[in-house]
Amino acid sequence: MKRRLKEGRRRNDIAENVSISREGMEEKREDLDVDASDHETVVEVRENLEGEGTEEGVAEVRDQIERARDVTEDIFEADGEDLEDIQDEAKDSQDDLEERSEAVGRDVEKVSDGLERIQLQETTNELRRAEESARGDREFLDEHIEQLDEAIEKSETEYEELKARVRAGGGDPK
């Protein structure tokens, strides 16, 4: 019984998907950096208030600053959730590429096994070309798996650093 083949993907589509994932994670990191900077600024403003006005005025100012901090934290959390969604999609793509790479590796083995049984030189030459094509395809897939892995790892590390900045200002990002 022949296995049902997974739908193929074009190399350009794979490369574009990897690029989109990397760019999406970088854009969200930039958004989160702005959010963390704004949070730090709000905390700094709160800490540097002299609070010498009227009780009502000082209370209103402090309440508004707290609301500004809360809003900034909410935006940080929403951007963080968006980043995590992009990271999850990138991980799914990475898993798909790994499955494809493993399948291509098995195909290389099958072609190699077939080469051992071939007697005609012309047939051997063509099968060697097929084997090289499969190796090239696997190399392409493995390069893009590595690119996604590096981008995901960098994104996760930077996100943790940004969350630490918000926590340092008294925030509690999830």
pLDDT tens, 84-130?
999 999 999 999 999 999 999 999 999 999 999 999 999 999 999 99
> So where are the chain's domains?
11-168
The yes-or-no verdict on residue 6 having pLDDT over 70 is no
Which residues neighbour 173 within 8 Å (Cβ) at sequence distance 6 or greater? 73, 76, 77, 80, 163, 166, 167
* pLDDT grade for 132, boundaries at 50, 70 and 90: very high
Predicted pLDDT at 79:
98
The length of the chain, given as a count of residues: 174
Chain position carrying tokens 């077939």: 114
Predicted pLDDT at 25:
98
The yes-or-no verdict on residue 65 having pLDDT over 50 is yes
d(C-alpha 100, C-alpha 80), whole Å: 30
pTM here is 0.86
* Percent of the chain with pLDDT strictly greater than 70: 96
Helices (H), 49-120: 55-117
